[in-house]
Amino acid sequence: MVTSLSPAEFLEKARTIPVIDVRSPNEFFQGHIPGSFNIPLFNNEERAIVGTLYKNSGREASVFRGLELAGPKLSGFIRVLRKLVPGKEVMVHCWRGGMRSESMAWLFSVAGYTVWLLEGGYKAYRRTIREALGGKINLVILGGNTGSGKTGILKAMAGTGEQVLDLEGLARHKGSVYGGLGLPDQPTTEQFENDIWHCLEGFDLSKPVWTEDESRKIGIVNIPDPLYDRMHRSVMIRIGTSRESRIDRLVSEYSGFGNEALKEKTSRIAEKLGGTTVKIIHEALDRNDFSTVVQLVLDYYDKAYEHAVSRRPGREIHDLPLTGNNPLANALIILGFFDSLQPEQYMPYGTSLS
Protein backbone atom coordinates (compact mmCIF):
# COMPACT_ATOMS: atom_id res chain seq x y z
CA MET A 1 0.00 0.00 0.00
CA VAL A 2 1.24 3.50 -0.92
CA THR A 3 -0.15 6.61 0.82
CA SER A 4 0.82 10.22 0.10
CA LEU A 5 1.41 12.60 3.00
CA SER A 6 1.89 16.36 3.33
CA PRO A 7 5.37 17.49 4.44
CA ALA A 8 4.14 18.06 8.02
CA GLU A 9 2.50 14.62 8.17
CA PHE A 10 5.53 13.01 6.55
CA LEU A 11 7.97 14.55 9.04
CA GLU A 12 5.82 13.50 11.97
CA LYS A 13 5.81 9.87 10.83
CA ALA A 14 9.52 10.06 10.00
CA ARG A 15 10.25 10.30 13.72
CA THR A 16 9.72 6.54 13.97
CA ILE A 17 9.80 5.18 10.39
CA PRO A 18 12.95 5.09 8.18
CA VAL A 19 13.11 7.56 5.28
CA ILE A 20 14.46 6.49 1.89
CA ASP A 21 15.68 9.23 -0.45
CA VAL A 22 15.71 7.85 -4.01
CA ARG A 23 17.47 10.82 -5.62
CA SER A 24 20.98 10.59 -7.05
CA PRO A 25 24.03 10.60 -4.73
CA ASN A 26 24.94 14.15 -5.78
CA GLU A 27 21.47 15.41 -4.90
CA PHE A 28 21.60 13.60 -1.57
CA PHE A 29 25.00 15.12 -0.77
CA GLN A 30 23.76 18.62 -1.55
CA GLY A 31 21.03 18.26 1.05
CA HIS A 32 18.79 15.59 2.57
CA ILE A 33 16.38 15.00 5.42
CA PRO A 34 18.58 14.27 8.47
CA GLY A 35 18.66 10.56 9.25
CA SER A 36 17.43 9.49 5.82
CA PHE A 37 19.06 6.77 3.71
CA ASN A 38 19.97 7.06 0.05
CA ILE A 39 18.85 4.32 -2.33
CA PRO A 40 19.21 6.12 -5.67
CA LEU A 41 17.05 4.98 -8.55
CA PHE A 42 19.70 6.46 -10.87
CA ASN A 43 23.34 7.17 -10.15
CA ASN A 44 24.72 10.61 -11.04
CA GLU A 45 25.62 9.69 -14.61
CA GLU A 46 22.31 7.90 -15.27
CA ARG A 47 20.32 10.85 -13.95
CA ALA A 48 22.18 13.16 -16.35
CA ILE A 49 21.45 10.80 -19.26
CA VAL A 50 17.72 10.59 -18.48
CA GLY A 51 17.43 14.34 -17.87
CA THR A 52 19.18 15.22 -21.12
CA LEU A 53 16.99 12.79 -23.03
CA TYR A 54 13.86 14.33 -21.50
CA LYS A 55 14.90 17.81 -22.65
CA ASN A 56 15.92 16.74 -26.14
CA SER A 57 13.52 13.93 -27.00
CA GLY A 58 10.59 14.20 -24.61
CA ARG A 59 9.04 12.24 -21.77
CA GLU A 60 8.40 8.94 -23.54
CA ALA A 61 11.99 8.48 -24.65
CA SER A 62 13.35 9.40 -21.20
CA VAL A 63 10.94 7.01 -19.44
CA PHE A 64 11.92 4.14 -21.72
CA ARG A 65 15.62 4.79 -21.13
CA GLY A 66 15.02 5.09 -17.41
CA LEU A 67 13.35 1.67 -17.37
CA GLU A 68 16.32 0.18 -19.21
CA LEU A 69 18.72 1.63 -16.67
CA ALA A 70 16.72 0.78 -13.53
CA GLY A 71 15.30 -2.61 -14.53
CA PRO A 72 18.40 -4.72 -13.83
CA LYS A 73 18.77 -3.08 -10.40
CA LEU A 74 15.28 -3.72 -8.98
CA SER A 75 16.11 -6.80 -6.93
CA GLY A 76 19.21 -5.05 -5.60
CA PHE A 77 17.08 -2.15 -4.36
CA ILE A 78 14.99 -4.57 -2.29
CA ARG A 79 18.07 -6.27 -0.83
CA VAL A 80 19.45 -2.89 0.28
CA LEU A 81 16.06 -1.88 1.68
CA ARG A 82 15.86 -5.02 3.80
CA LYS A 83 19.25 -4.23 5.33
CA LEU A 84 18.26 -0.66 6.15
CA VAL A 85 14.66 -1.08 7.29
CA PRO A 86 13.98 -3.53 10.13
CA GLY A 87 10.19 -3.32 9.92
CA LYS A 88 7.67 -3.29 7.09
CA GLU A 89 6.97 0.43 6.88
CA VAL A 90 9.06 2.92 4.94
CA MET A 91 8.95 6.59 3.94
CA VAL A 92 9.98 7.48 0.36
CA HIS A 93 10.66 10.69 -1.53
CA CYS A 94 12.47 12.11 -4.54
CA TRP A 95 12.91 15.73 -5.68
CA ARG A 96 9.33 16.70 -6.61
CA GLY A 97 7.35 13.63 -5.67
CA GLY A 98 7.29 12.45 -9.27
CA MET A 99 8.23 9.35 -11.21
CA ARG A 100 11.32 8.35 -9.27
CA SER A 101 9.62 8.15 -5.88
CA GLU A 102 6.40 6.74 -7.34
CA SER A 103 8.36 3.98 -9.11
CA MET A 104 10.32 3.02 -6.00
CA ALA A 105 7.22 3.24 -3.83
CA TRP A 106 5.48 0.78 -6.16
CA LEU A 107 8.48 -1.56 -6.03
CA PHE A 108 8.67 -1.45 -2.24
CA SER A 109 4.92 -2.07 -1.91
CA VAL A 110 5.16 -5.08 -4.22
CA ALA A 111 7.89 -6.38 -1.89
CA GLY A 112 5.41 -6.23 0.99
CA TYR A 113 6.14 -2.84 2.53
CA THR A 114 3.66 -0.18 3.60
CA VAL A 115 4.95 2.94 1.89
CA TRP A 116 4.40 6.57 2.84
CA LEU A 117 5.16 9.03 0.02
CA LEU A 118 6.11 12.69 0.46
CA GLU A 119 3.79 14.98 -1.50
CA GLY A 120 5.87 17.46 -3.48
CA GLY A 121 9.07 15.62 -2.59
CA TYR A 122 12.22 17.10 -1.11
CA LYS A 123 11.39 20.44 -2.73
CA ALA A 124 8.24 20.70 -0.59
CA TYR A 125 10.22 19.67 2.50
CA ARG A 126 12.71 22.48 1.89
CA ARG A 127 9.94 25.03 1.49
CA THR A 128 8.31 23.83 4.70
CA ILE A 129 11.42 24.05 6.88
CA ARG A 130 12.50 27.43 5.53
CA GLU A 131 9.10 28.81 6.44
CA ALA A 132 9.41 27.21 9.88
CA LEU A 133 12.84 28.77 10.46
CA GLY A 134 11.17 32.16 10.12
CA GLY A 135 8.60 31.28 12.79
CA LYS A 136 8.48 32.02 16.49
CA ILE A 137 11.60 30.73 18.25
CA ASN A 138 12.42 32.05 21.72
CA LEU A 139 16.14 32.51 21.23
CA VAL A 140 18.51 33.65 23.95
CA ILE A 141 21.91 34.65 22.62
CA LEU A 142 25.10 33.95 24.55
CA GLY A 143 27.63 36.58 23.49
CA GLY A 144 31.20 37.34 24.41
CA ASN A 145 34.61 37.91 22.87
CA THR A 146 36.56 35.16 21.16
CA GLY A 147 37.98 32.73 23.69
CA SER A 148 35.39 33.43 26.39
CA GLY A 149 34.44 29.76 26.63
CA LYS A 150 30.92 30.14 25.23
CA THR A 151 30.92 26.73 23.53
CA GLY A 152 31.83 24.91 26.73
CA ILE A 153 29.21 26.84 28.65
CA LEU A 154 26.50 25.97 26.15
CA LYS A 155 27.44 22.30 26.32
CA ALA A 156 27.19 22.48 30.11
CA MET A 157 23.77 24.13 29.76
CA ALA A 158 22.63 21.30 27.52
CA GLY A 159 23.82 18.87 30.17
CA THR A 160 21.49 20.52 32.69
CA GLY A 161 18.51 20.05 30.38
CA GLU A 162 18.47 23.45 28.68
CA GLN A 163 17.57 23.65 24.99
CA VAL A 164 20.76 24.51 23.08
CA LEU A 165 21.11 25.10 19.35
CA ASP A 166 24.78 24.38 18.67
CA LEU A 167 25.28 26.20 15.37
CA GLU A 168 29.06 25.70 15.35
CA GLY A 169 28.63 21.99 16.03
CA LEU A 170 26.15 21.67 13.16
CA ALA A 171 28.42 23.74 10.90
CA ARG A 172 31.50 21.72 11.97
CA HIS A 173 33.37 25.00 12.32
CA LYS A 174 34.19 27.33 15.23
CA GLY A 175 33.64 30.55 13.36
CA SER A 176 37.05 32.20 13.12
CA VAL A 177 39.52 31.75 10.28
CA TYR A 178 41.11 29.00 12.41
CA GLY A 179 37.74 27.42 13.21
CA GLY A 180 37.97 24.47 10.85
CA LEU A 181 41.21 23.07 12.25
CA GLY A 182 40.82 19.51 13.46
CA LEU A 183 37.20 19.22 12.32
CA PRO A 184 35.63 17.17 9.50
CA ASP A 185 34.52 18.75 6.22
CA GLN A 186 31.63 21.16 6.55
CA PRO A 187 28.17 20.35 5.20
CA THR A 188 26.62 22.36 2.39
CA THR A 189 24.60 25.40 3.45
CA GLU A 190 21.48 23.53 2.37
CA GLN A 191 22.27 20.59 4.64
CA PHE A 192 23.22 22.98 7.44
CA GLU A 193 19.72 24.47 7.25
CA ASN A 194 18.16 21.00 7.29
CA ASP A 195 20.21 20.04 10.35
CA ILE A 196 19.25 23.26 12.16
CA TRP A 197 15.57 22.56 11.71
CA HIS A 198 16.00 18.91 12.68
CA CYS A 199 17.47 20.13 15.98
CA LEU A 200 14.81 22.79 16.54
CA GLU A 201 11.87 20.51 15.83
CA GLY A 202 12.85 18.46 18.85
CA PHE A 203 12.53 21.52 21.13
CA ASP A 204 9.59 23.21 22.81
CA LEU A 205 9.86 26.49 20.91
CA SER A 206 7.71 28.34 23.44
CA LYS A 207 10.59 27.96 25.91
CA PRO A 208 14.08 29.51 25.68
CA VAL A 209 16.50 28.14 23.10
CA TRP A 210 20.10 29.12 23.81
CA THR A 211 22.57 29.69 21.01
CA GLU A 212 25.91 31.41 20.55
CA ASP A 213 26.25 34.83 18.96
CA GLU A 214 27.53 34.20 15.45
CA SER A 215 28.38 35.99 12.24
CA ARG A 216 26.07 35.27 9.33
CA LYS A 217 28.75 33.01 7.85
CA ILE A 218 30.31 30.13 9.81
CA GLY A 219 33.16 28.86 7.70
CA ILE A 220 31.62 28.17 4.29
CA VAL A 221 27.99 27.88 5.42
CA ASN A 222 25.45 30.62 6.03
CA ILE A 223 22.90 30.90 8.81
CA PRO A 224 19.45 31.07 7.17
CA ASP A 225 18.31 34.69 6.82
CA PRO A 226 15.09 34.31 8.88
CA LEU A 227 16.98 32.71 11.76
CA TYR A 228 19.84 35.20 11.60
CA ASP A 229 17.41 38.11 11.71
CA ARG A 230 15.70 36.60 14.75
CA MET A 231 19.07 36.08 16.45
CA HIS A 232 19.85 39.78 16.02
CA ARG A 233 16.53 40.76 17.53
CA SER A 234 16.70 38.44 20.54
CA VAL A 235 17.93 39.15 24.04
CA MET A 236 21.68 38.69 24.52
CA ILE A 237 23.66 37.89 27.63
CA ARG A 238 27.23 38.94 26.91
CA ILE A 239 29.74 37.33 29.22
CA GLY A 240 33.02 38.98 30.17
CA THR A 241 36.13 37.01 31.09
CA SER A 242 39.70 38.13 31.61
CA ARG A 243 41.94 38.54 28.60
CA GLU A 244 44.51 36.27 30.26
CA SER A 245 42.05 33.39 30.59
CA ARG A 246 40.96 33.86 26.99
CA ILE A 247 44.57 33.74 25.79
CA ASP A 248 45.26 30.60 27.84
CA ARG A 249 42.13 28.91 26.49
CA LEU A 250 42.95 29.70 22.85
CA VAL A 251 46.60 28.65 23.19
CA SER A 252 45.44 25.34 24.62
CA GLU A 253 42.86 24.91 21.86
CA TYR A 254 44.93 25.75 18.79
CA SER A 255 48.64 25.28 19.56
CA GLY A 256 48.56 21.59 18.68
CA PHE A 257 47.61 21.95 15.02
CA GLY A 258 51.07 22.69 13.65
CA ASN A 259 52.72 26.00 12.92
CA GLU A 260 52.43 25.77 9.14
CA ALA A 261 48.68 25.23 9.36
CA LEU A 262 48.38 28.26 11.65
CA LYS A 263 50.47 30.35 9.26
CA GLU A 264 48.27 29.33 6.34
CA LYS A 265 45.10 30.28 8.20
CA THR A 266 46.62 33.58 9.34
CA SER A 267 47.46 34.46 5.73
CA ARG A 268 43.73 34.47 4.96
CA ILE A 269 43.27 37.56 7.13
CA ALA A 270 46.65 39.11 6.32
CA GLU A 271 45.08 42.17 4.70
CA LYS A 272 43.02 42.87 7.81
CA LEU A 273 45.88 42.22 10.24
CA GLY A 274 48.45 44.17 8.29
CA GLY A 275 51.76 42.98 6.86
CA THR A 276 53.84 43.90 9.89
CA THR A 277 51.53 42.06 12.28
CA VAL A 278 51.52 38.94 10.08
CA LYS A 279 55.33 38.99 10.00
CA ILE A 280 55.45 39.18 13.82
CA ILE A 281 52.93 36.32 14.07
CA HIS A 282 54.99 34.12 11.75
CA GLU A 283 58.15 34.84 13.69
CA ALA A 284 56.35 34.05 16.96
CA LEU A 285 55.14 30.75 15.52
CA ASP A 286 58.68 29.88 14.47
CA ARG A 287 59.75 30.09 18.11
CA ASN A 288 56.51 28.46 19.41
CA ASP A 289 55.46 31.67 21.15
CA PHE A 290 51.74 30.95 20.88
CA SER A 291 50.78 33.51 23.53
CA THR A 292 52.07 36.37 21.35
CA VAL A 293 50.24 34.93 18.35
CA VAL A 294 46.93 34.77 20.20
CA GLN A 295 47.31 38.28 21.64
CA LEU A 296 47.84 39.78 18.19
CA VAL A 297 44.99 37.86 16.62
CA LEU A 298 42.69 38.76 19.51
CA ASP A 299 43.35 42.47 18.92
CA TYR A 300 41.77 42.04 15.49
CA TYR A 301 38.89 39.80 16.56
CA ASP A 302 37.99 41.94 19.59
CA LYS A 303 37.65 45.04 17.42
CA ALA A 304 35.62 43.12 14.86
CA TYR A 305 33.30 41.73 17.52
CA GLU A 306 32.71 45.10 19.19
CA HIS A 307 31.88 46.59 15.80
CA ALA A 308 29.43 43.78 15.08
CA VAL A 309 27.70 44.17 18.46
CA SER A 310 27.43 47.94 17.99
CA ARG A 311 25.48 47.34 14.77
CA ARG A 312 23.09 44.88 16.40
CA PRO A 313 19.50 46.16 16.04
CA GLY A 314 18.05 43.80 18.62
CA ARG A 315 16.85 43.93 22.17
CA GLU A 316 18.88 44.98 25.19
CA ILE A 317 22.30 43.41 25.77
CA HIS A 318 22.96 42.31 29.36
CA ASP A 319 26.63 42.24 30.35
CA LEU A 320 27.63 39.59 32.88
CA PRO A 321 31.25 39.41 34.14
CA LEU A 322 32.54 35.93 34.98
CA THR A 323 35.58 35.25 37.10
CA GLY A 324 35.89 31.45 37.04
CA ASN A 325 36.71 29.09 34.18
CA ASN A 326 34.48 26.13 35.08
CA PRO A 327 31.90 25.75 32.27
CA LEU A 328 29.20 24.22 34.47
CA ALA A 329 29.63 26.77 37.24
CA ASN A 330 29.48 29.59 34.70
CA ALA A 331 26.45 28.03 33.02
CA LEU A 332 24.60 28.00 36.34
CA ILE A 333 25.54 31.64 36.99
CA ILE A 334 24.24 32.64 33.56
CA LEU A 335 21.01 30.68 34.00
CA GLY A 336 20.45 32.27 37.39
CA PHE A 337 21.04 35.72 35.92
CA PHE A 338 18.64 35.00 33.08
CA ASP A 339 15.95 33.88 35.52
CA SER A 340 16.35 37.20 37.36
CA LEU A 341 15.49 39.29 34.30
CA GLN A 342 12.14 41.04 34.45
CA PRO A 343 9.44 40.32 31.85
CA GLU A 344 10.13 43.71 30.23
CA GLN A 345 13.70 42.57 29.58
CA TYR A 346 12.85 39.09 28.33
CA MET A 347 9.38 38.43 27.06
CA PRO A 348 8.82 35.16 25.17
CA TYR A 349 6.93 35.33 21.92
CA GLY A 350 3.22 34.86 22.32
CA THR A 351 3.10 36.49 25.78
CA SER A 352 2.21 40.02 26.75
CA LEU A 353 2.62 42.31 29.73
CA SER A 354 -1.11 43.04 29.96
pLDDT in tens, 174-188: 999 999 999 999 999
Radius of gyration of the chain (CA): 25
Q: Which amino acid is at 296?
A: L
Query: Phi and psi dihedrals of 187, rounded to 5?
Result: -75, 175
Q: How confident is the model at residue 352 (pLDDT cuts 50, 70, 90)?
A: very low
Query: Would you state the pLDDT for residue 64?
Result: 79
Strand partners, 217: 222
pLDDT tens digits, 12-60: 999 999 999 999 999 999 999 999 999 999 999 998 988 888 888 878 7
Looking at domain 136-340, which CATH architecture does it have? Answer: 3-Layer(aba) Sandwich (3.40)
For residue 221, give the 3-state DSSP assignment: strand
Give the active site residues: 94
pLDDT tens digits, 260-301: 999 999 999 999 999 999 999 999 999 999 999 999 999 999
Rounded CA gap, 42 and 270, in Å? Answer: 46
Q: How confident is the model at residue 66 (pLDDT cuts 50, 70, 90)?
A: confident
Looking at domain 2-130, which CATH architecture does it have? Answer: 3-Layer(aba) Sandwich (3.40)
Query: Would you state the pLDDT for residue 18?
Result: 97
For residue 157, give the 3-state DSSP assignment: helix
Q: How confident is the model at residue 345 (pLDDT cuts 50, 70, 90)?
A: low
pLDDT tens digits, 327-340: 999 999 999 999 99
Q: Do the domains 136-340 and 2-130 match in fold?
A: no
Sheet holding 209-212, edge to edge: 163-165, 209-212, 139-143, 235-240, 317-321
Instruction: Evaluate whether 54 touches 62 at the Cβ level (below 8 Å).
Output: yes
pLDDT tens digits, 224-235: 999 999 998 899
Domain spans, the chain:
2-130, 136-340
Can you give the length of the chain in residues?
354
Query: Would you state the pLDDT for residue 68?
Result: 85
